[in-house]
Amino acid sequence: MSESTAKLRPFSFVLAVPDLERSASYFRDALGFRLEWPEGSGWQLVSRGDVRIMIGHCPEAMLPSVTGDHSYFGYLNVDDADALHSELVNRGAIILQPPTDRPHGMREFVIGTPDGHRMMVGQEWPAAN
């Protein structure tokens, strides 16, 4: 079987949230993302570096906090997990697990959102010199 010639490009995550304004404010204030789209469309694009997350106003959707491990939506690779962790703590982010060295060669921590979405942040460990 041959590999497709269709090139995959950088991606965006898509999240359903019950309160768009609250979620957009959290991503901006606690996680350091920029708000990219004008208000009023029922959607907001937030970005930080190459990471883009589209959050949609879905007040009737099941909260991710009730889905257990299925509430993880992304894994973000970083160069310095401890520095990002420190920044996010100072911003008031929801940190569900502090940086921890894992046997699979990553130093990881977990960020939460007010609705219960979770994303893992990881750095190759031990760090390359």
> Domain of 124?
70-129
Give the Cα separation of 108 and 99 in Å (integer): 5
- Does 128 score more than 70 pLDDT? no
Are 74 and 128 part of one and the same domain?
yes
User: Does residue 32 lie in a domain region?
Assistant: yes
CATH classification of the domain holding 80:
3.30.720.110
- Does 11 score more than 80 pLDDT? no
- Does 76 score more than 50 pLDDT? yes
Whole-number percent of the chain with pLDDT over 70: 95
Nearest partner of 123 among 111, 102, 108, judged by Cα: 108
Q: How many domains does the chain have?
A: 2
User: Does residue 4 lie in a domain region?
Assistant: no
